[in-house]
Chains A and B, each alone.
Chain A
Amino acid sequence: MADPNTKQMPQKSANIAAGAVVCVESEIRGDVTIGPRTVVHPKARIIAEAGPIIIGEGNLIEEQALIINSYPENILPDTEGVEPKTMTIGINNVFEVGCVSQALKIGDNNVIESKADLGKNVILTSGCIVGACCQVNTCEVIPENTVIYGSNCMRRVQTERPQPQTLQLDFLMKILPNYHHMKKTVKGTSTPVRN
């Protein structure tokens, strides 16, 4: 696996699959895997401090979004014996502008709206929408198709999941490379897509 594009162990680089569009101005630190058809806007930050982050396909991570796998508050980074926990993010999620996500498990088709704040102990299943400026840091699994909205974080269940943003993803994958440089992707066995 002497791939000239990936650095050697320890895995401290971004593992960007072919077909993903990741702008150079985004900050990706640590062991991050990004799936195909994912778009990462400039000024987005994906920081894997306390463990790796695995992002699936078809996700849309907008400007100033922060996805961080951080240490729990009471543990110093230098403590030994701390297991690195993997943060998994599924497919077709949308992280809107300025949101902060520390949730360790995010399923599919979720929308995290602008300036929303997800704590470490939340687990999002599928089809959830966390509304703008809502802070969710309870220790629970949010059931499917839940909408959290309002200043009091009211909740309701919607009957259908939010639609995947395929049109927007296609548009961005065409337009972003015209204006930004892209990070290098790992050339996989599938047909190479332009960088």
Chain B
Amino acid sequence: MASLLQPDRVLYLVHGEKKIRSPLSTLYFCRYCSELRSLECVSHEVDSHYCPSCLENMPSAEAKLKKNRKRICNQLNENFRCANCFDCPCCMHTLSTRATNIPAPLPDDPSKTAMKKAYYLACGFCRWTSRDVGMADKSVASGGWQEPDNPHTQRINKLIEYYQQLAQREKLERDRKKLARRRPYMPLAFSEKYGLGTRLQRQRPGAPITSLAGLSLKEGEDQKEINIEPAQALDEVEPLPEDCYTRPINLPEVTSLRQRLLQPDFQPAGASQLHPKHKHLLIKRSLRCRKCEHNLSKPEFNPTSIKFKIQLVAVSYIPEVRIMSIPNLRFQKECQVLLTLTNPVENITHVTLVGCEEGDPEDINSTAKVMVPTKELVLAGKDAAAEYDELAEPQDFQDDPDVVAFRKSNKIGFFIKVVPQREEDGDVTVSFKIRHDFRNLAAPIRPSEEGDAPAEAIWLTHHVELSLGPIIA
């Protein structure tokens, strides 16, 4: 049954700030700390931005900001949107450029007409075209499409500059006070008013923070005094149109909330004012272990490449337990479940399974008693060339047929006995600990005078939980 291979059937416990149980395919393994890490106990860093439709790499926000600091707000806007690709304002799909031939008078001789190409944007999913909102066809295939200007841009820019200056001034004052009082443990949050938050700031020591207050003027540059007029409250509000209550609603013309909120500067209520927006960029992120600051996952810079420069995923280091077959589970009757263990590394791994003891603090979900095989299981190494090598002799491991059902290259199938303890509805869950040896190839290579094997084996223990399905009466 394919449902037995679903990833959330077998969960591994991760010891981090929070105890997280998740399938092995979503976990990372820090081979310097020799521990499993989940997505919540690593720090995520942005590597690069790229457009998902034209796969073009965008220079990082900092490079753009440093280049031209005057038009700061426009840059912040353009930083995270692609210059060439557009999103359909109706269904958010990517717009494609289509061409039609229209007869147009030649510039030399107005009486003759020649076929000229006119380009318009069209969505393949909801059939929206740029002609629906009245945008004229352009004569160039790309680069001719403009987003409408926001009438409030100037005021917003001015306000942002003013508040940036204010934040910097406050930061300087606080830093001066901090130095004067010499308090050793001042939280970073107090010095950055519009910063990104303490956790992220702590994770990036030394890297410039691309928040509003992160831009600091250089020493010696004069601070311009920016004055803003306060917003004025008006007594009179524009009255509603007279037929507001009597005019029938043209339902196709009303925009949905999602369509409206994706354009926060205009928020048009009518579908004929929905203009396409430039496409949002996606990021490539790299993961870093919080304890030892080593990179766990680092993608390649090129957006067209899906490979990783560094990829320390758990499935390539930790043996994986999978459910192979489950008999009918009966309340308080012993059933035999067939599991498989796969060895991801190339050397022989020895695995011991240990049941959870009474009162184990990690064992909170199990609803059945489990008897695991007591003997040590030996897994052969993963040999990529084995399937092509017909003459290879199968290695002889003395397998107890009561414990080991089958053996196939780096995988074995073994039995465990399960006695469901609770008759209620819901899945039968069992948990046990798996203890295996791990050869750390990442350790610094000592000079070979030691005479030791280049990799020492350390024993790692993981807590595994299996969800076996409902009891069949």
Where the two chains meet, the residues of A that have a C-beta atom closer than 8 Å to any C-beta of B are 129, 131, 146-147, 149-150, 154-160, 162
Contact = CB atoms under 8 A, between A and B. Distances in A.
Nearest to B252: A157
Contacts of A159: 129, 131-132
B127 A158 contact: yes
Contact of B125 (A146, A149, A157, A158): A149
Contacts of B132: 158-159
Contact of B252 (A149, A150, A156): A156
Interface string B112-136: 0000000000000111110110000
A156 B90 contact: yes
Contacts of B125: 131, 149-150
A131 B129 CA distance: 16
A156 B126 contact: yes
Contacts of A156: 90, 126, 128, 252, 271
Interface of B: 90-91, 125-129, 131-132, 252-253, 271
Tell me the interface secondary structure of chain A in the complex.
strand
A154 B126 CA distance: 9
B91 A149 contact: yes
A157 B251 CA distance: 10
Contacts of B271: 156
Given A156-B252, A156-B271, A129 B127 contact: yes
Nearest to B133: A159
A147 B91 CA distance: 12
6 closest cross-chain pairs (CB), A and B: A157-B252, A149-B126, A147-B127, A159-B132, A158-B127, A156-B252
Contact of B126 (A147, A160, A162): A147
Contacts of B91: 149-150, 154
A131 B126 CA distance: 8
Contacts of B90: 156
Given A149-B91, A158-B129, A159-B132, 7 more contacts: A147-B126, A147-B127, A149-B126, A150-B126, A156-B126, A156-B128, A157-B252
20 contacts: A131-B125, A131-B126, A146-B252, A147-B127, A149-B125, A149-B127, A150-B91, A150-B125, A150-B126, A154-B91, A154-B126, A155-B252, A156-B90, A156-B126, A156-B128, A157-B252, A157-B253, A158-B129, A159-B131, A159-B132
